[in-house]
Amino acid sequence: MASTDALRKSKLPIIPLRFKTVDQLYRSYMPWFKNGGLFIPTIKRFQMGQEILMMVNLPESKDKFPAVGIVSWVCPQNSTGHKKQGVGVEFSDDEGLALRYRIDDMLKEQLKSGAPTYTL
């Protein structure tokens, strides 16, 4: 019998994210969210508060890391500052928190740089 959590996850929209380089990951990472998160460049419409399942490929890894998140930021088409259209998704489950720690470790030098990202 499937667990309640597995059943809930099976009904979520699945968004594959593949980061080929550390720079791509840095530009998409949103460390200021309480639980960390990722920016997803997309023209698909998502609602604030909507749950999604991300399948994340990190640079230099063939593994896919599943992480449930909540849409917590929306950047519409033609936004000011020439930012990419898409959504910011805050990690909301244990796998997401584990992914956050992995990303924090991978980006420890870049996070000090202040280089521009897709969001700020």
pLDDT band at 94 (very low <50, low <70, confident <90, very high): very high
Digit-coded pLDDT (tens) for 1-56: 456 666 667 789 999 999 999 999 999 999 999 999 999 999 898 999 999 999 99
| 3-state class (DSSP) for residue 64 | strand
Structure confidence at residue 38 (pLDDT): 97
For 113-118, the CB contacts below 8 A with 24+ separation are 115/26, 116/27, 117/26, 117/27, 117/28, 117/29, 117/39, 118/27, 118/28, 118/39, 118/41, 118/83, 118/84, 118/86
| Residue 6 CB coordination number (10 Å) | 9
Domain range for 16 is: 4-110
Structure confidence at residue 81 (pLDDT): 65
* Any domain includes 103: yes
CA gap 29, 69 in Å, rounded: 13
Q: Which token pair is 46?
A: 């998502």
* Any domain includes 116: no
Digit-coded pLDDT (tens) for 54-83: 999 999 899 999 999 999 998 887 766 667
31: domain CATH number is 2.40.10.220
* Any domain includes 12: yes
